[in-house]
Amino acid sequence: MTTDTRPKGASVQFEYQGKTVTVTGISKGSGMIMPNMATMLGYVATDAEVEPNLLQRLLSHASDRSFNRITVDGDTSTNDACILVATGQSGVEITDLEPVLMERFTQALDQVMLSLAHAIVKDGEGATKFVEVRVEKAGSTEEALKVAYTIAHSPLVKTALFASDPNWGRILACVGRAGVHELDVSDVQIWLDEVCIVDKGARATSYTEEQGQEVMNRENICIRVILNRGGFADQVWTTDLSHDYVTINAEYRS
């Protein structure tokens, strides 16, 4: 298992016309985790019958919303794989001609793969926190992801997360340097869970350090950035950066 500390698996079942369809997966990964999957392995199998081209389309769609939305350390490896196998043993065929069945299967696949992706982040090397970075009201999906990844990859933000330090300046600095064209920082809001820490591009007048500290002491945290530029939103999931991450990668030689 290299630096993984625990196995990762997920399974979902649903009924269709008296038959049970199962989607089950396992994954491996802890370090060198960044979109395009990176030093992770994902194996998902279903007993539904799915034509190969459709199976590839469903896998690509689900991967983009799960494994390609996680980052532990921003370090992309060339060694990764995500495989989806359909055995057809259930006797249920998934096709575009059955939209209701297709939707149920897609939801099951998404649920399994997102669960596996989240498990990789939670088992990230040295991780003590599971962090969602969500960007809302962006001008485009690409813009939302650009801001989200800039925050998620920032060593200063990640070390502040490890220290449970509600350092709103580090997060706002990431928004400012993310490369968003003609960004008006005075429109930006930033929230830590239910606490608004930045409003109109500056420290929120209602914010207190005690509020921020209470959120940062949690193991699961959402950093929510509102750009007020459009109607697009997206998110990535990441970890903090701890002493243990440095120790693991200083002492482990692949």
The 10s digit of each residue's pLDDT in 145-178 is 999 999 999 999 999 999 999 999 999 999 999 9
78 is catalytic: no
CB 34 within 8 A of CB 76: yes
How many CB atoms are closer than 10 A to CB 207?
18
The 10s digit of each residue's pLDDT in 108-123 is 999 999 999 999 999 9
Catalytic residue among 20, 22, 39, 141: 39
Based on the fold, state whether residues 12 and 46 are members of the same structural domain: yes
Based on the fold, state whether residues 218 and 185 are members of the same structural domain: yes
- Using the 3D structure, point to which of 64, 91, 122 is the last residue of a domain: 122
| One-letter amino acid of 160 | A
pLDDT reported for residue 38: 47
CA dihedral 19, 118, 80, 7 (to 10 degrees): -80
**Known binder of ligand: residue 254?**
yes
Domain count along the chain: 2
Q: Of 91, 95, 113, whose CA–CA distance to 8 is shortest?
A: 113
Question: In the chain, what percentage of residues exceed pLDDT 70?
Answer: 96
CATH number of 94's domain: 3.60.70.12
Based on the fold, state whether residues 59 and 141 are members of the same structural domain: no
Q: How far apart are CA 130 and CA 122, in angstroms?
A: 6
Based on the fold, state whether residues 211 and 100 are members of the same structural domain: no
**Known binder of ligand: residue 125?**
yes
**Known binder of ligand: residue 2?**
yes
Based on the fold, state whether residues 47 and 67 are members of the same structural domain: yes
Q: How far apart are CA 230 and CA 245, in angstroms?
A: 37
Q: How far apart are CA 39 and CA 29, in angstroms?
A: 6
Based on the fold, state whether residues 159 and 117 are members of the same structural domain: no
Residue 37 has pLDDT above 60, yes or no: no
CATH number of 164's domain: 3.10.20.340
Residue 3 covered by a domain: no
Which structural domain range is residue 66 located in?
A: 8-122
- Using the 3D structure, point to which of 60, 92, 122 is the last residue of a domain: 122
**Known binder of ligand: residue 106?**
no
